[in-house]
Every structure is written in structure tokens, then in C-alpha cells.
Amino acid sequence: MSLLETINFPADLKPLNRTDLKTLAGELRDFVIDSVSKTGGHLASNLGVVELTVALHHVFDTPEDRIVWDVGHQTYVHKILTGRRERMATLRQTDGLSGFPKREESEYDAFVAGHSSTSISAALGMAVAAKLKGEERRVVAVIGDGAMSAGMAFEALNNAGAMDANLLVILNDNDMSISNNVGALNAYLTRLMSGRLYNNLRSKGERLLSTLPPIHELARRAEEHIKGMVTPSTLFEEFGFNYLGPIDGHDLDALIPTLANIRQLRGPQFLHVITQKGRGYNPAEANPCLYHGVGKFKIEVGVEAKTGNKPTYTEVFSQWLADMGEADERLVGITPAMCEGSGLNAFAERFPRRYFDVGIAEQHALTFAAGLACEGRKPVVAIYSTFLQRAYDQLIHDVALQKLPVMLAIDRAGLVGADGPTHAGAFDLSFLRCVPNMLLATPSDEDECRRLLSTAYHHDGPSAVRYPRGIGTGAPLSPGLETLPVGRGILRREGRGIAILAFGSLTAPALAAAETLDATVADMRFVKPLDRDLVRHLAESHERLVTVEENVVMGGAGAAVAEALADLGLARPLLHLGLPDRFVEHGDPAVLLARCGLDAAGLERAIRAFQARSLVD
């Protein structure tokens, strides 16, 4: 029996010595590689936090002590150590374990973290709540270096440093190799500065010198300079934290005593650890970006190149962006830390001076784009639907209010499968169509996506094209940069009695359902401006209307059709089909769509039931 097989909960780690803990870390690393190779998931980030996770659960008394992970895709080892090892085969699968922390899943998951840069705010809230209740628990926020680029993290640091809450922020710095100062001397100094003796002397010295302000200020500056000689920055000290580190995040002999010392300290503490993404698996170490999120793979081979001729929607956008960038030198490509995921690689390579990765800073991305647009540039912001939600005020106030030609290429619209509700693009049609001056397009296939991207790009004002994850119908792509008439849909099928108004990705299943129903299908293309002439024509020539969209029903494209019918004075039985009023869990996308009744069979059932009700009425 392996050592890992004897570990079911963090309490089982307490009696282990350092040698056993190091053995356990090796077994955990092998288990993660084997598990993710069979399920897919986030690999590189999890291999980078093995020792850190072991040390945290060894030192802190979880779940009484809280650990808030930021972002949540680095929690696989945490899940394994907190009673879920046997269920890792279900990770990200339908009805299986979530790929992110989930409060409903385990008492050890203190906070849901699918979006980044939230941990310090949440952990501070927990620490303040503990203080208000008179509880002695400790709260730890583990935040990655990428997540530290967001303004929210610094807002939380600024607030936390002014409070006397017992909060530990651990910066998991994995964007660099372990530097020279992360060695024996630095580890020793960090342990020394985190120890009781040093901190008791520090506190007593502060009280004594506070009666002599000039000398106190001199001592404070001297301490900063001395620490600055062996640490990379005093920035976090300025926020009011006691900064410690950096130390090697893979060295349990440094991590465990340092964390044990910090656990005894009061007030806001900041520990800087250096880790390596992909640690322990050579292909992931060599290319951590490729192994950030992977499908199933053979361990001995690694991730293999994509096969198949159909381009994904992201690849369609990628090619379009490079082509349009060639045609128009005003085009500027912007991404909030999702270059590969959003398909900006080709553009970045061809036009490096016009490519900007602003980090995990969606709010900044939109206002930065607005500033570029003010000066005659044509910014294209490639962003996931779920992350656009974080920049809603900037979209309204800084872009739409000024009618600036900022184009949003919205990826991952609709359900996203294994990543679940934290990453689903379920709301963008609802929150975008109510914004004045917006153009909002929903392509039904790959070729229409390319042409609508060109259409939106040439729009004199803010615009958005939203498209799903993965491949579409396989429609052949137009070679040029043709546009489509703004606000005009097209009939895809002529039928009788009932008309289906389809928006975007669900046009294909709507067409399949229409074959058995003998229904008319309109590919509406635009949610805003809506093709009111086509809506009028369909309402006047059909007895019943159905709207179909991969967006929540409330406030979505169907609601736009209902508003148009009311405005036109046309009363027709109208059925809205879309995502339900709940968060759809993770799983196989086809299964999830079927469960929501949005596959061809589900659409047919719903429409037949609608017809039957209409006949009874």
C-alpha cells in the first residue's frame, strides 16, 4: 500500500515526519499526472503546488482554518487530500467532481474560485468575521502571480493592511525560475523573520520607539532597507503586511517551519513562495502553457497535436484577426491574459507592436481599448463571455456612452462543458442588448462567424460577436473579409404553421428539429439591431413563434423578439427556449444541452408540447 492510500483527510498528515511528507508529495505528483491524463483538466498549475498544499494541510487545522484558493484550477491536490481521492476519476465529468473549489462539494472548500483575484477579499471577510465572533481560526489566501495583476487584489491588500485581522496571503509566484536569492540563506532569513523572537522584538521595539518619532521612522526605514537587500520588494510592507520570502515552494524543509511560525503571528502576513508550473513532468515543465488545460493524453507521449479538418470557432477568429490586421493597420488586438485561449497567437506573432496582453485585468482592458479608440485605433478585445461580466461598468460608461468603435470578440458563449458554471457564457445576450449603441451578433456557423466579425469591425460604434467553444457545423469559410447587412436575418428553411427564430449556435439543432416538425427556421444573426421586418413577416405568416438561444431566457434574444412583437402590435403564441434559470453544472456539453432541452430532440419535444397547449387553449 502506498503512503497516499493511507491519507484520507488532512488530519492524517499531522503525524507524518518530513521524510514521509516528501514521499507523499512524490506520490501525489504521480497521482495527479495519471488522473489528469485520463480525465483532462488543469495539469501544470496543480503540479506546481503539490508541496505547498501538503505543507498547508500539515500545518493548519483545516477545515476550521480556512484556505481560499485563487484561482481554483490549482486545487486538485487539495481535493485529493480532503476526502476526494477516490472520486478524482470523475473530475470535470458529468455529475462528477468540479474542477474548481465548490462549497457544496466539501467543507474544506471555503470559497468558489473560478474567476481570479478574489481570494484576498474573501479571505479578509472570513478573517474579520472570525474576529467579530471571537474565534481564533486562521485564514489563508493562496493567490497566483497572474491573479495579482488584477486591481481587485490590490484593493483587497490595501483594505487588509489597514485592519488587524489574522490573515495570511501566500503569493504563489510561478512565472519565473527559482532565482539566486531563493536558497539556504534566504530560507534561513525567512524562517528567522517569521519566528516569534524576531517578531516579539520587532513589536516591543516599535512600542518603545513610537515615543521618539524621528528615531522610530529611522528604524522603520532601516528595517525596510535591510529586508530589501534579501527580498525582492517592500511593496507589500507599504500595504501594511509583514512581508516574508521569497522561499522555494517545493522545499518542505523551508515551507513547514515558516508556515508554522506564521500561524503564531497576528495581523496581516504576506508570504512569497516561488514554484514551477508543471513540476515533475518534463513535457509540462518545458511547455507549461500547453499543459495549462489539457484533454486526455498518454503520459509517455504527452499532449498530441490536434487532428481533424474542422476549425474551432476560436481558430476562425484567430485567422480572421490576422487577416483583418493585415488589411487594416489601425487594428489593435487586446486580451486580458488569454492569448492562447482566445486565439491571438497568430496576430501576436505577425503584429507584435499592435498586440497587448494586459494581464488578468478585464476592467482595464475595456478602458484601455476605449483610450485607443479615442485616438483613431480600432481595438478588438478578445475575451471570454464569463470574464466580460467583470468589465460591465467599463463597457457601459467608457465605451458605449462615448459610442467608441471597440469590438468585443466574445468566446465561450453558452455552455462550456467541463469548466462548469464559473466559466459558462450564459448571460451576455441579456446584459449586452440593453446597452445603448451596441451591435450584437450571433453567428450560426463558422463562415457566418467570419463574416459577422468583419461586419462588427466596420461598425461605427461598440460591437460584439459572440460564439461558442469548440467546433461548429463545418461550414466552408469565405476567403475574404466580406460583411453582412447589419440587422438582417435570413430564412434557412420554409415550413408551415410554426416559425423558429434561432440565434447563434442553436440554429443547427433548430434546423434538425424543423425537419420533423415541418417548421420555418430563421437564422436571426443579430440580437441588436433585431430584424424587425423579419419578425413581422414571420408573425404574420405563422400561427406560432418559437425563439431559441444558448443564453438564459430572461432578458435574452427571445425577450427582444417579444418586445418587438408588442411594439408592432402583433399578438402571437410565443415560446422561449434557452438556458434555464439556474447555474448549469459541468459535464459533457452535448449531455448538458440535452438536459436543458436544447438539442434537436429536446427542441422538438418542447415545440410539440407548445403546439398541443395552443390547440387546447
How far is the C-alpha of 146 from the C-alpha of 169, rounded, in Å?
15
Three-class SS of 192-257: HHHCHHHHHHHHHHHHHHCCCHHHHHHHHHHHHHHHHHHCCCCHHHHCCCEEEEEEECCCHHHHHH
**Residue 391 near residue 363 (C-beta atoms within 8 A):** yes
Residue 434 has pLDDT above 70, yes or no: yes
pLDDT for 234? 67
pLDDT tier at 163 (50, 70, 90 boundaries)? confident
Q: What is the mean pLDDT of residues 515-544?
A: 98
Q: Is the pLDDT of residue 580 over 80?
A: yes
* pLDDT over threshold 80, residue 225: no
Is residue 124 classed as helix, strand or coil in its secondary structure?
Answer: helix
Angle subtended at Cα 57 by Cα 52 and Cα 59, rounded to the nearest 5 degrees: 95
pLDDT, average across residues 317-346: 95
- CA distances 123 to 120, 129, 267, Å, are 5, 10, 13
State yes or no: is 390 an active-site residue.
Answer: yes
pLDDT digits (tens, 9 = 90+) for 439-464: 999 999 999 999 999 999 999 999 99
Confidence of residue 146 (pLDDT cuts 50, 70, 90): confident
- Residue 212 — very low, low, confident or very high, per pLDDT cuts 50/70/90? low
Amino acid 577: pLDDT: 98
For residue 252, is pLDDT > 90?
yes
CB 408 within 8 A of CB 429: no
| pLDDT attached to residue 218 | 54
Q: Report d(CA 538, CA 565) in Å as an integer.
A: 11
Helix (H) or strand (E) holding 88: none
- CA distance linking residue 412 with residue 409, whole number of Å: 10
Among 111-125, 221-235, 277-291, 380-394, which is the least confidently predicted range?
221-235
Number of Cβ within a 10 Å radius of residue 212: 11
Q: What span, in angstroms and rounded, lies between the C-alpha atoms of 467 and 448?
A: 10
pLDDT, position 613: 83
189 has a pLDDT exceeding 80: no
The secondary structure element, H or E, covering residue 442 is none
Q: Return the C-alpha torsion angle 306, 310, 312, 318, nearest 10.
A: 90
Is residue 366 scored above 60 in pLDDT? Answer: yes
Q: Is 349 exposed, middle or buried (0-12, 13-18, 19+ CB in 10 A)?
A: exposed
| pLDDT attached to residue 202 | 56
277 is catalytic: yes
Name which residue leads in pLDDT, 544 or 147: 544
Beta carbons within 8 Å of 193's beta carbon, 6+ residues apart? 199, 227, 244
CB 433 within 8 A of CB 527: yes
Check if the beta carbon of residue 489 is closer than 8 Å to that of residue 582: no
Q: Catalytic pick from 277, 378, 451, 469?
A: 277
CA angle 174, 179, 182 (to 5 degrees): 95
Burial of 491 (0-12, 13-18, 19+ CB in 10 A): middle
Q: Is 412 a catalytic residue?
A: no
pLDDT of residue 147: 85
Kindly report which listed range (45-54, 304-313, 316-325, 442-451) carries the lowest average pLDDT score. 304-313
pLDDT of amino acid 438: 98
DSSP β-ladder status, 331-335 and 520-523: unpaired
Residue whose C-alpha cell reads 467532481 in the numeric block: 97
Burial 23-52 (b: 16+ CB within 10 A, else e): ebbebbbebbbebbbebbbbbbbbbbbbbb
Is pLDDT at 206 greater than 60 in this prediction?
no
Q: What is the pLDDT of residue 442?
A: 98
Give the Cα separation of 573 and 563 in Å (integer). Answer: 13
- Per the document, the length of the chain is 617
How many helices, marked H, and strands, marked E, lie in the chain? Answer: 25, 17
pLDDT in tens, 269-309: 999 999 999 999 999 999 998 898 898 999 998 988 766 67
CA distance 52 to 60: 12
Task: Encode 507-536 in three state secondary structure.
Answer: HHHHHHHHHHHCCEEEECCEEECCCHHHHH
Which distant-in-sequence residues (6+ apart) come within 8 Å of 83 by Cβ? 8, 9, 106, 108
Of the listed 362, 446, 550, 604, which one is catalytic? 362
Catalytic residue among 29, 84, 390, 528: 390
Average pLDDT, the chain: 90
Confidence (pLDDT) at 149: 81
Q: What kind and span of H or E run contains 379? A: strand 378-384
